[in-house]
Chain A
C-alpha cells in the first residue's frame, strides 16, 4: 500500500503534466480541469501516505553500476514535504484557474507546475542521495522555467537564469557530497550513511557538512546566496506561492534537518547554521521593511522566516524547524495568493500605488489579515505556536546574542507586516479601483489556506509522534499537542516575544511621532533597499566573466597563421615541459 501511495504521490502530478501537454493549448478549459483534478488527487494521495509512514524503504529500483539503488523511504520528514508540496500545490493550481485564464501557453505552465510538484514530493521521499539530487535538480529546472515563464520579458528571463545558476552552484555542494558519501559508504542510501558515518574520516565529514550547508543556503535563499529570491518574483504569483514560499525553498531546511544527526558533531557546523539563520532572519526582515514592491516584501519575509527554521536546526530543535516549515508554508502561500488577487485587480505590484483596499476588497483584506496574524505570530494562528517553539528552544539552548537577534527579528516582523497591511489596505486609495475582490477559484484556495492557518498547529502532536517513530537517527521526543501548547503558552520566552511583537506593532502605530528617528535612519534604509551590496557583488561577478569572455574572443582571430601558431606553440610548451623533466 505504501508503495502504491508513493508512486501515486509522485506519479499523479507527472501523468497530469503529460495529459495537459497532450490536450494542447486549444482546449484551455480541459487543461484547467485536468491540472486541478490530478493535483487534488495527488494531494489526497500524499495525505493518505501519512498513515503509512515508515523508517524502511518501500520501493527499490536497482539502477546498475555507478547509479546504485533508487529507494523511496516515506518517513515523517519526507512525507511532510510531500504533503505540503501536493496540497499547497493543488491549491496553487486551483488558484491558477482564475489567475492564468486567457494565457496562450497554459500547457507549458501547468506541465511545469505539475512536474515540479511530483519532483518536490519525490525529493522528500527519496532514500537515495543520488535520487534526491535528481529531484533537487528537476525542481531547480522547473523553478527556472516558471520564473522566466513570460519569455518575452527580459527581466523575467534574467531572473530565471539567475535563480537557476545560483541554486545550481549550491547544488554542486550536494553533488560532491553525494559522490563522497558513496565513495566511503559504498552506497547512496541516506540511512546507510547515517548508520555508518564512522567510515568517513573526520576531515572529510567536515567537508561534507559544509558542502551540504552551501547547497542548503543556496536553495533556501539564505544570506549570502539570497539574491535570486526577490528577483524570482517575476514568476506568475501562484508559482511564487508554491515554489518560492511553500516548497522548493524548504528543501534547504529539509537537507540540514535530515543530516543533522551526523553533522552536529562537526565543530562549528551548528554554529554556522545558527548564524546563517539569524543573519537571514534579521536582514530579510530589514529588507522587507523598506521594500516597495508587495511581492518582493513577501520574498524578503520568506528569507527571514526560513532563517528561523535554520536557527532552529542550529540549536538542535529539528521538530520545531519542521513545525514552522509547515506553518510557514500555509500562511506564506496564503499571503502570496492574496497578493495574486490584489495585484491583477489593481494593476500594479507597487504598494505605494495601493491603499484603502480594505473597503473595496474586503474578502481579500480579511484573509490577508489572517495570514498576517500568522506571520507576526499572534496566538490561535499556526505561526504563533511554531515560532514560539523555536524561540523557546533558542532561549534555552542558543547563545544569548543569537536569541536576542532572533527576538529583534520578531519585532521587526511585526513592524514590516503592519506596514504591509497598512500600505495595501488602509489609508487613501492611490491607484486604480480594483476590478474584482478575488474571483471564485481564487477564493476557494484562499479559504482553504485560511482554514489551514487556524488548524495546522493542531497536528503538532501527530507530526511529533510520526517523527519520533520513523526517524531512528534523530533524537525526537514525543509530546502530545496539548502538552506542547501548554508548554509554549507558559514559557517565559513566549511572553517576552509577545511583548516585542506589541512593541513592533506599536512602533508602526506611533510612526508619525517617531518620524524624526525614521528620517535619521534614511541612509541605512537606502543601504537595505539596495540589497546591502549583494546585488553589486552578483553584478560584479557577471561583469568579470563577460570581460574574460570578451578578451578570449580575441584569440579567435580567424587568421590561419595565428591558428597554426597555436598548434606549434602548444607543442613547444609541452616539449619544453618534458625536457625540463616533469
Chain B
C-alpha cells in the first residue's frame, strides 16, 4: 500500500511530533531543540503541501482508502491545511521567547505539531468515523495546550471547562453518527449523500452534528468555554484556537452536514440563524471587556457568525460565491485573529511574562505602549481594523465577498441579513477602536514603563502577517488559488 503524495501532509506532522518531544527532551536547553525540530517538521510539511496543491490543480479531487479509513483531498482540505500550517509556523517562531521560561516546552511543541497534523487529517477525511477520530484527537491535543500553565488554578479551570464541554459535544456527534449509520448503513460521506432520504432521524442527526461540532466552533450558546480558554492559554495557543481550531470545527460541521444536504432545506437558514446570534451576542459581550484576550475571544464569535452567513447562503442557494466568501473569511480570520493574539501576546510577554507573572493583559496596561513597542502596536492596530472590516485590509475583502453573495440572491431576507452583518461590523469598531486609541497615547502606563524589550524574532511573524493582511486587502485575488477550489469543493459536497 503506497500513500499518495498528498497524504504526507497528514503523516509528516504526526510522525515528527514524537521526534520533537524526544529531541527536546535530550538537550539541556529543551525549548530551543524542540522548537527547531518543530520548525523542521513544519518545513517538511510545507513541501508536502505544495506538492498536494499541485496535485489538486492537475488531477482534481483525489480519494484514497487505507484499510477502513477513507481520505479525500479537495479544496477544503487544502484550505484547512494552509491555515493550520501558516498559523502554526508563525506560532512556533513566536513561541521561542514566549515559552522560554516555562517547563515542559518539549511537550508544548510536540503537541502543537501533532495538533496541526490531526487538523490537516480532519480536513482530508471522507468518512464519518474517521472525522470523529481526528476531531477527538484535535480536542485532546488542544486540551493539553490550553491548560499548559498547570500551576495556575485559572488555567486548569479553563482547561476543565473546555474538556467537559468539548466532550459533551463529541458525545452528541457520536449519537448523530449512530443515527446516520442506522438510516443509511454507511459511514462514507459520498455514499451518505447519495442515499440519504428525508427522514426525522436524519434531520435529528443533522441537528446533533450542528450542536456537537458547534461546541468546538463556538456557536452561541455553546461558546461559553471560549473566553476562558483563550485568556488562559499561552498566546500562541490562543492564536491557534481562534485561528484554526474553531475553523476546523466548522469544517467538520460542513463535511458532515453537507452529506445530509438532501435531507432538508433547513440547514441554510439554521446556519444563518446561528450566524446572526453569534454576531449579536459576540459584539455585545465584547463591548464590556477589560481584558484584551477575552475581548478578542468574543470577537471570534462574531467572525464565526460571518462565516456561518457565508456558508449558510451556500447551503440555501447552492451559491459558489457564498461558499467561497465564507471560506475566504475563514482564511482571513485565521490571519487577522492570529495576528491580533500574537501582537497582544507580544505585549503580554514584554509587560508580564518575561518578568515571570501570569496576570492577564488589561486594556489599561496598554496605554501609551506604541512609543516603546511601535511594531507590536502597529501590527495590533492593523489586525484590529482588519477585523472591523476597514479597507484596504483583508477583513473587508472577505466580508465583501460574503455580502456580494447575499445580495446577488435578490432574496429580501438574505439581503436583510447582509445589512445586519454590515451593521455588526460597524458596531465592532466600538470596542476595537478604543484599544488602538489607548495604545497611541503619549502618556505611557506604569506597566509599559517597566516593561522589557521585545526580541526581534518575535516581531518577525507580526510584520509578516500584517503585510499579508495589507496585501490581501489591496489584491484580494491573490488568495483565489486557495479559496476558489475550496468553494467549489463545498458546493460539490452539497451535490451542486
Contact = CB atoms under 8 A, between A and B. Distances in A.
Interface stretch (A298-306, A308-316, A348-356, A549-557): A549-557
B266 interface: yes
Which size class do A's interface residues fall under? 35 or more
A545 B283 CA distance: 10
A579 B434 contact: no
Contact of B477 (A65, A179, A568, A579): A65
13 contacts: A63-B476, A63-B477, A151-B437, A151-B440, A161-B434, A165-B430, A546-B288, A549-B284, A564-B164, A564-B165, A570-B219, A575-B204, A579-B200
A302 to B, nearest CB: 24
A182 B364 CA distance: 44
A562 B433 CA distance: 32
A164 B429 CA distance: 8
Contacts of B36: none
A152 B443 contact: yes
> Which applies to chain A's interface (DSSP): helix, strand, loop or mixed?
helix
Nearest to B422: A172
Contacts of B418: 176, 179
B443 A552 contact: no
Contacts of A582: 266
A564 B168 contact: yes
Secondary structure call for the B interface: helix
A180 interface: yes
A295 B25 CA distance: 67
Identify the 9 closest CB pairs spanning chains A and B, nearest first. Answer: A64-B477, A179-B407, A563-B224, A566-B221, A168-B426, A151-B441, A66-B404, A134-B391, A549-B287
B134 interface: no
A169 B285 contact: no
Given A172-B423, A556-B224, A548 B476 contact: no
A22 interface: no
Contacts of A545: 284, 287
Given A560-B161, A570-B221, A578 B441 contact: no
B222 A566 contact: yes
Given A165-B429, A574-B270, 7 more contacts: A63-B475, A64-B477, A134-B391, A134-B396, A148-B437, A151-B440, A172-B423
B400 A66 contact: yes
Nearest to A555: B221
A470 interface: no
Residue among B204, B385, B407 with the highest chain A CB neighbour number at 10 A: B407
Contacts of A196: none
Contact of B429 (A130, A161, A564): A161
Contacts, number: 164
Interface stretch (A136-144, A364-372, A503-511): A136-144
Contacts of A523: none
A150 to B, nearest CB: 8
A563 B162 CA distance: 10
A482 interface: no
A462 interface: no
B284 A552 contact: yes
A300 B160 CA distance: 57
Interface in B299-322: 321
B281 interface: yes
Interface stretch (B86-94, B208-216, B249-257, B452-460): B208-216
B397 interface: yes
A567 interface: yes
B33 interface: no
Contact of A560 (B160, B200, B426): B160
B434 A157 contact: yes
Contacts of A152: 441-443
Nearest to B165: A563
B158 to A, nearest CB: 10
A578 B165 contact: no
B342 interface: no
Interface in A532-561: 545-546, 548-550, 552-553, 555-558, 560
Given A134-B391, A563-B161, A67 B397 contact: yes
Contact of A67 (B211, B410, B477): B477
A553 B401 contact: no
